Every structure is written in structure tokens, then in C-alpha cells.
Structure 1
Amino acid sequence: MPELISPDARWHAAWLEAHAEWGPGAHEDGFGLRPSDDVGTREGFATWLARLAGDACTYRWIVEGERVLGGIALRHGFGEFVRQFGHIGYGVRPSARGRGVASWALGRVLGEAWTLGMSRVLVVCAVDNVASMRTIERHGGVPEKSPDERVRRYWIENYLSLDM
């Protein structure tokens, strides 16, 4: 059974294994990874983790046993970055896809969003990412018209907060 954990340096080797499985490019949503981050060395990895701790974002890694399966991020506020990429971003390594891992993690992070007092969150995915669209819709995501034809934008509401 997977679990969500806060980023931790002890997972360096397992994280690198997942990172290698994705291959090159910027597609590991949910990790807050930038092209300039040096995650290959212990020092660079620690520096990256320190930067994440200072972000206006809650990062969680999806782990199972000794494997990092993916990452998910809950971005706070509603600045320009959130308007473009959403409150929640996630990614699951290729070998762990198709098992419901993303849906499970999204459900847990939505719970964190509601605990923080958020009444609704924006989740964005590429128009060709059918698995992600289904995951978001499974959690009540309602599509809105997007100015960018390459992405789908969804709002997920905390219906419990509407009853208060």
C-alpha cells in the first residue's frame, strides 16, 4: 500500500531511480524540480530539499516499500503560477502507472487542501493525458474553458465546506 511522505534526504537513491525511469525532460510534475536543480549529488539533493521546504507549497512523495512511485504538490494561494499550472500537480513514474496511484494520492492531497481551508482547487493537465483527465474527473473535477488549447483546466470543490 502506498503512503505519502514529506520529501526526505534518506530517499535520495530511491528518488534517483524514479527520476532515471522518467528520462530527460521536464515532466515530473509534483516534485517542484527545476532544470537548475542538481539532484545527482547528496549536497545538491539536500539543497533542492531545502528550497522545497521554503516554497509556498506542500510537497509529498508517493512511496511504497523502498520505492518512490511519484510526487504530488499542493500549491498555496492563487498567484500567476497557480493560475497557469493549478493548485495540484502530480506525476507517477511509468512503471507504477495504471494502478490507481495518482487517484489515491490526489484524494489524500485534496483532504490536505480542505484541512487548510481551501474551498476549491484548480487542477490542470495536458489535453492528451486521458489518464489524468479521468483521475481528476473521478474526484469531482469540473472542466472550465481554457485559453490554452493544449491544457484542460478543472475545478474541484470541497462540497463539505458548502454545508457549513
Structure 2
Amino acid sequence: MTDLVRPDIRYHASFIVGLAEFGDQHKDGGSDLLDDAASLTHADAFAAMVERLRADALEETPRAEDRVPATALWMIHEGEFVGFLQIRHRLTPWLLEEGGHIGYSVRPSARRRGHASAALRAALPIARDLGIDRVLVTCDEDNVGSRTVIERAGGAYEDTRAGKRRYWVATA
């Protein structure tokens, strides 16, 4: 079973292994805080990143003008980190066009095992509790796996913009 949990230092070791698997791949649902992955091997740097991720969900946390509050969650399977999921609390113009409310990524060794599907389903009531009636979830036009995940979660295809398929999913 895949659980969604708030970032936590308990997952440091498996997080570092999982992050390394991504290499230079984009980590949707990840964070700009992951850009300095090498420093995250240090316990203090990792703990600081966890705290920043948790604070990012708070409206009062200072952030750049083009950023919105976002709830970071990690996919955990059998005690191991298997992926990222992020719920953006509202949409900027760019998020409305391409990014969406929810982004997620599963580490390469854990793909095709249902983690993304379980995580997206688990994220919907969390989004509802944040006051979001329906979420926009996007994927690359050629990402058949993600498209399947979104459609199985009830995603209604709206259109494609800039190579991104856009789906609306009810949270209730």
C-alpha cells in the first residue's frame, strides 16, 4: 500500500537513494529545494529542507510572487520513499495553462506499480480539505502512464496546451 505523508526526516536514507535515481529527470511534485541534491545527504541540510517544505503549505510563508502555497507530500511504500506529490493551493496563470494543482513523480525503480494512482486518489480529499472543488492535473502529451493515472482517477480531458494534456478531477 502506498501512503502519502508529509516530508519527514525518517525517510532521509531512502529519499537520497530515490532522488539519485531521478538523475537529471524533471521531478514534478518535487521542489526547487531539490536543486542542490548533494547537500541533502547531510542530516542538517535534509532537516532544513523538510522544514521548508512543510512551511511552504502555510499562506503566511514568504515566497516569490509567482509561487503559491503548496502542500508537499511523499509517497511511501513499506517504509521507503517512492515519490513526490505536491498540491498547489491555487493556480497562477502558468499553473492554469501547464502546471496544474497537483504534480507527482515516482522514482524510476518504483514505476508501473500503482504508486502514482494510489497517491493521486489519496490527494483528492486533501485538496478538497484545502477548499479546492476540482483540481487541474496535467501531463505531457506523450506520457501514456500519467494520462492513464489521471483518467482512472476520474480526470475529464479539457484540451492540450503547449504539449500538456489538461484534465479536471473532482475532489469529492
TM-score past 0.5 threshold: yes
Q: State the 4+ residue runs in structure 1 displaced beyond 4 angstroms.
A: none
Counterpart CA distance in 2 for 1:51 and 1:3 is 21
Partner letter of residue 74 of structure 1?
A: I
Q: How many residues align?
A: 157
Calculate the TM-score normalised by the size of structure 1.
0.86
Do the aligned partners of 2:139 and 2:165 also contact (CA within 8 Å) in 1? yes
Calculate the TM-score normalised by the size of structure 2.
0.82
* Aligned twin of 2:11: 11
1:97 aligns with 2:89: no
* Aligned twin of 2:28: 29
Counterpart CA distance in 1 for 2:130 and 2:161 is 29
Partner letter of residue 4 of structure 1?
A: L
1:26 deviates by: 4.4
| Superposed CA offset, 1:17-75 (max 9, x none) | 1111222x242222224425642322222222222122211111111223111111111
Counterpart CA distance in 1 for 2:114 and 2:159 is 27
Three-state SS of the structure 2 residue aligned to 1:28 is coil
64, 85, 98: which is aligned to 1:72? 85
RMSD: 1.8
1:125 deviates by: 0.9
| Superposed CA offset, 1:128-149 (max 9, x none) | 110000100111111222331x
Change (3 A) 1:12 1:96: same
Counterpart CA distance in 2 for 1:36 and 1:76 is 25
* Aligned twin of 1:47: 48
Unmatched segments (≥5 aa) in structure 2: 57-68
Do the aligned partners of 2:89 and 2:130 also contact (CA within 8 Å) in 1? no
116, 126, 149: which is aligned to 1:135? 149
